[in-house]
A and B are shown apart, each in its own frame.
Chain A
Amino acid sequence: MARYGMALDYKNCINCKACEVACKEENGVELGAEKHRIWVGGNNPEGQWPFLDIASAAFMPSQCQHCEDAPCQEVCPTNATYYDENHVVRVDSDKCILCSYCMNACPYDARYVDDRTMTVDKCTFCSDTRLARGETTTACQNTCPTKVRTFGDLDDPNSEISELLRTREHFSLKSHLGTNPKLFYLT
């Protein structure tokens, strides 16, 4: 019984996308650019050569926020989307009817359709793969060259993530929507 979250030292991110590939290989995610549980966003730098704005070219690694108040869960007609015992937002593919409501409701574009099962899929915090085997890191965290991610139990005051959140400033994405994300961006 834990409350899992993830802190991202996003300034470390070099947009290498190792996390994206590791996630696909670990979790057997379907091939195809649209089929991703995790992504890294970047922008074209503002300005004209040679006066380009470096600050505008930051990289933002992201994935399902595992919202405490998850709109995707609220809108699911069959409760296929649920909070598991570790507060991880999961999809039960046996119950998912593919009404796609959650895909529209998620403010983060974290969900996609797995064409093999014709159900909605998303980041599981590796719950049914790595965590199920007793591992303590997610595939995306573990593989990252610059160690952007720290995954852990927010309820455990001794965890690394709790320590990070106590000691470093951080923000969440679209926090004004009241979703209470459990992904924290360290500044």
Chain B
Amino acid sequence: MPADITAILDRYGADRTRLLDMLWAVQDADGHITQPAIEGLAAGLSLSRAEIEETVSFYHFFSMQPAGRHRIYLNNDVSTQLSGRYEAVRDAFEEACGCTFGTVSADGRFGLYDTACIGMCDREPAALIDFVPFTDLTPERVAKIVASLKDGVATKSLAAAFDSGCDVVTTRWQRTGPVFDPRTAAGPSLEALFSLAPGEILEAVAASGLRGRGGAGFSTGLKWRLCRETKAATRYVVCNADEGEPGTFKDRALLTDMPHLLIEGMVAAAYAIDASAGVIYLRAEYRYLFDRLDSLIADYRKAGWLGHNIAGSGFDFDLRLQLGAGSYVCGEESALIESMEGKRGSPRNRPPFPVEAGFCGMPTIVNNVETLAAVPRILKEGADWYAGFGTEKSPGTKLLSVAGDCARPGIYEVPFGITVGEFLDMVGAEPALALQVSGPSGECINAAQSRHRRLCHEDLSIGGAMTVFSAERDLLDHMSRFLSFFIAESCGICTPCRSGNVAMKTLLERLRDGRGEQRHLADLERWGHIIAETSRCGLGASAPNPVLSSLREFPDLYAALVDGREAEMFVPGFDLDASTGDYRRIVERARSNGR
């Protein structure tokens, strides 16, 4: 039955900022976003059709054509390549579904698609089938899954039959810590929280030294204060649960095992900065967590944590979930806000920063899941307690998502400042060739030479992803894949990121094919710096990092690509003399003939 556009518009109050929700509703009903639906939404929202299509076509998980009754998105990220079973699993899907990746089966039953990291890195290969995760795949499992789907078994009940349940993917907690222990971690009671003055919360957060866990490490206390100090009719608290950095799944662990801390952290933040509404922006890859989180929010509302006049304090605050639709750049805070407003996820120019003008132009704090979840722990145990862990400039602890070539992948809570050597021993990664710190946008470091280096803002910044590469790996192949990831995820509005990274990739591939020269190594470096310096947002600024950091840490790997090239009969380019030789001979002959 075609989607009832009027009902959908009604459900979301014909509010343009809820366009993503409306598009999900259409797609869930119709299988894809149809032209009549686009027309209906455009009319109902007073937008042009082109504007709706701009949003629809930006997101990976929306499609304007039939995309298969069962949509299968197989992760093709580096961590699945390291599993050793990726190709076999991919082949098994193609064979079982009767179509190749990027196409829909003839009977319209299956659509097979590649997708970037889905946050299941310690359980690869993994796929989303109708947005339900299926992890630890083998060719045999794939055959069984597809056969069951053909028999009409519902995707959710099918997932429950596998270890990877339909609403929970069990977290591998390798090391819990003082801050996040799924069995014990608790925040202050509602009464205790609201017995504090907003200023006291701001002070405690500032005193704890908490810095953003989404990668940039900005002081949380300062961010909140700047937002509070911006005069405005209303303010917003946004939780960034977009967790798109390949190799990262620590926010998934919190969303699965300790979502209460996140909600309490958002309430505390809202109370501290005087915000009226909050939004958890959940990446579409984690859609399987949506209902669980939604009902937890409802529980909190019932218990008086959310809503009108919370705990008799006169303070009003409510919270909702916003589902993304497949875009890495939407993790960038200003792109995330654009997406929350129902638009394509282009990062904004700054200034103004979100704390000045964010969601719908109002002051907004955007914080990572882990940042917000730490707040109730700080309020419960005290700022000094928290600041007692870690280093001077990086107080506290950090959750790490560990995957790749190591004995013990999973989630670890560690104090900031542990060394690379301690880390490698802890996860059972000896001997490792390289460590990808903080995912592709971070750094690729030489494991053997970096054992003394420290994981903290003073040395190697840690965002959450730690991917280990053993000596058997073709490291540059993986760096090249990272670059492809950034190319595909670029929002495309600025020149260096959109065009420059394609140029980098072309040159890197040329080198890897053995068609490069020594001077190209210097070119890679210079081009990378130009892209990083001129890009509009952090995506472009970090896209060259895999190449730049591996060039620095593994010069021999690159030198080997051009070794001996000079000695070969290699024509470095266009030879003007040779190419115009016949012309020159004619001219010379003419001259000597005296003409």
| Co-complex (A, B) | no
Chain A residues within CB distance 8 Å of chain B: none
